[in-house]
Amino acid sequence: MLTTHVARNEELWDAFVRRHGGDFLQSWGWSQFQEAAGRQVYRFRIDTPSKEPTAEAHEDTLAQFLLVMHHLPLGARYAYIPRGPIVAGVSRAEFKADFEACVGALRATLDQLDCVFARVEFPYLRSGDVVAAADLESYGLRRVRPVQPADTLIVDLDRSEDELLAAMHPKTRYNIRLAEKHGVTVREARYDNAHFLRQDVDDFWRLLDETAVRDRFHTHHRGYYEKMIDVLSPKKAGGLRTRLSFACRGEEPVAGCITAEFGDTVTYLHGASSAAHRGLMGPQLLHWRMMAEAKKRGFAKYDFWGVAPDDNAEHPWAGITRFKKGFGGRRESYLGAWELSINPFWYTLYRFAKRFRNM
């Protein structure tokens, strides 16, 4: 019988996530950021029977998952598991039994936490992976709307800069050269000076607010980004780090982005730009320099983090998808979000209420 324990060792936790192909959403640092943002977080590992309950070496850990608690009306709550659990395994034949056992252990843990259900975004691709949608359905999971982008675009950095540029759309290459011709420069936020860092955060928020109004999307509140920049600063120790970077004309930022660094991947999380300086092509140069810097520092992939599914021209992300595809890359499509009912009575009430209001 599997046993589930609270994990307490950051280094061993992140090593397991990296070793088994997990991304930053299951990193220890992401859980710390969620806690700083005011959310209750649990970090669990599922061990085989030979595991000593107090041991921390993780040699016999079969799976890990961090979950974030969310509240529902009447004091109820549900758990959100982003891109997890991370399950050790090799072939599909060996993996399936372990995965099924982990789903059972996960269900038991969530029952102890008094959760109505869990919303789980598994770290598996839509086709050709060790787990398929049919497997999840057979375990009683229900497909729901994704929280994180289910489709993304990955640029592999194991090529020369010339080869990376050659793989881009000609218009993207042209815009990068145009930005350089206009004297646009790229810099990182000024982390070593509290006053200037505050100014950089102000500038990013101004650009983000402008972009959200222009492109009609919702942002988090300002404190969310401030916590992310502070808790996951590249100046602090930890397996997950974020970087705030800008494309500037002189001293004025015309585009900005926040990227996350974990394992072998740099992920583009949040971006913004100035409409008044659209002709300077700041975002194109900013991403190219971020890609080149990631390659220089030994990262294997640059993840653009979210594109429209199936290149749907009517999708709200159609415009940003065209922008991202200009950099080349390959599409990865995940299985998306699924809900695992823990308390059938309350879950049925939740689904019924969800038909009449957005919860």
Digit-coded pLDDT (tens) for 61-120:
899 999 999 999 889 999 999 999 999 876 666 788 888 888 999 999 999 999 999 999
Q: How far, in Å, are 20, 54, 119, 308, 316 from residue 30 at the CA level? A: 17, 24, 17, 25, 27
Burial class (CB in 10 A: 0-12, 13-18, 19+), 52: exposed
Residue with tokens 């992920």: 267
* Token couple for 186: 């790229």
160 versus 52: the higher-pLDDT residue is 160
The confidence score (pLDDT) of residue 59 equals: 65
Residue with tokens 């320099």: 289
Nearest Cα residue to 290 out of 182, 190, 164, 169: 164
- Give the end-to-end CA distance of the chain in Å, rounded to a whole number: 36
Name the phi and psi angles at 128, rounded to 5: 75, 10
Enumerate domains of the chain plus CATH numbers.
Answer: 3-148+334-354 (3.40.630.30), 152-333 (3.40.630.30)
Alpha-carbon Rg for the chain in angstroms = 21
Residues in the chain: 359
Say which residues have a Cβ less than 8 Å from residue 74's Cβ, sequence separation at least 6.
none
On whether the CB atoms of residues 186 and 292 are closer than 8 A, the answer is no
Find residue 87's DSSP bridge partners. Answer: 63
pLDDT at 29 > cutoff 60:
yes
The confidence score (pLDDT) of residue 57 equals: 54
pLDDT band at 296 (very low <50, low <70, confident <90, very high): very high
Mean pLDDT taken over the chain: 92
* Coil, strand or helix at 89: coil
253-280 pLDDT, tens digit per residue, is 999 999 999 999 999 999 999 999 999 9
232-251 pLDDT, tens digit per residue, is 999 998 899 999 999 999 99
pLDDT at 51 > cutoff 50:
no
Among 214-218, 239-243, 305-309, 317-321, which stretch is predicted with the lowest mean pLDDT? 214-218
* Token couple for 167: 């793989």
